[in-house]
Amino acid sequence: MSMTTLMNKVKLLILDYSVDQFETELIESCVATEIEKLSLHITHEGSFPKDLFSQGFTHNIHSGSSLSINDSAPFTKQAVELIRWAKHHHLWQMGICYGHQLLALALVGKHAVQASSNGFEAGWRTVHFSKEAQRLFNIQEVEKVWQHHFDEVIQCPEGSEILASNNHSFIQAYINYEQRLLGTQFHPEFDQNKGNAFFRKDRKLLEKNHFNLAEILADGPGFDSRKVVFGFFLNN
């Protein structure tokens, strides 16, 4: 699809659940400036405009967050309602880490998410991509991606296909064409510079959980996830 066709087709809603709103700039930088988009920082039930459902969005992105999916947030009920509405109206939805978990919570139930049994996953971590994912994204079977999470999805919405796994969290990414969902446990919005800047700022938490910051900073991504993953999502 040409960029002109894409721009005419897509109207993007970005829902930023991060506590300090850092996800908005990151995600917007992965999306062509010509694409019509609206970003909302979601902190409470009033963060959702009453006319949101009537604004003609074609794609929704649900961001990551330092919040735990296992704790009810002031906006959880409204976010779940929006996700279910978007599914019913056949809008494409992408969830990143917390957003990925929120999709599972809304469309499967509380039993679909949990605190990771393997604890905190952080750094540029290896993920194994399925043959379908390799075809869709034009990547290798084994790639490194940006990780920073305590919680995980253990059951996808019905009809989903697992795209990526590793030995920490089995569901690292999935696609669901019928329900128009793309979920990633990892964060495709980080490149090496932005990802390592975050890790430097997060030094205390990383060291508290026995991660070696110098080793993390010496590593990096296996592919341009910003271009590949967001490009794929917006072309559907």
* Residue 187 among the catalytic residues: yes
Domain with 190, as residue range(s), is: 3-234
Contact yes or no for 151/101 (Cβ under 8 A): yes
90-130 pLDDT tens trace:
999 999 999 999 999 999 999 999 999 999 999 999 999 99
Contact yes or no for 173/183 (Cβ under 8 A): yes
Catalytic residue among 59, 100, 148, 187: 187
* Residue 156 among the catalytic residues: no
Cα–Cα distance, 149 to 169 (Å, whole number)? 10
Number of compact structural domains in the chain: 1
Mean model confidence pLDDT for the chain: 96
* Residue 97 among the catalytic residues: yes
- The residue type found at 229 is V
Cα–Cα distance, 143 to 124 (Å, whole number)? 9
CATH of the domain at 158: 3.40.50.880
Cα–Cα distance, 156 to 172 (Å, whole number)? 11
What's the order of all strands across the beta sheet hosting 59-62? 36-41, 11-16, 59-62, 92-96, 181-184, 173-176, 161-165, 121-129, 142-149
- Residue 83 confidence (pLDDT): 98
Q: Which residues of the chain have pLDDT under 70?
A: 1-8
List the one residue out of 173, 189, 174 whose CA is nearest residue 224. 189
Catalytic residue among 121, 143, 152, 189: 189
Catalytic residue among 23, 97, 152, 168: 97
Residue showing tokens 């809008």: 91
Cα–Cα distance, 107 to 100 (Å, whole number)? 11
- Residue 3 confidence (pLDDT): 47
88-100 pLDDT tens trace:
999 999 999 999 9
- Residue 9 confidence (pLDDT): 87
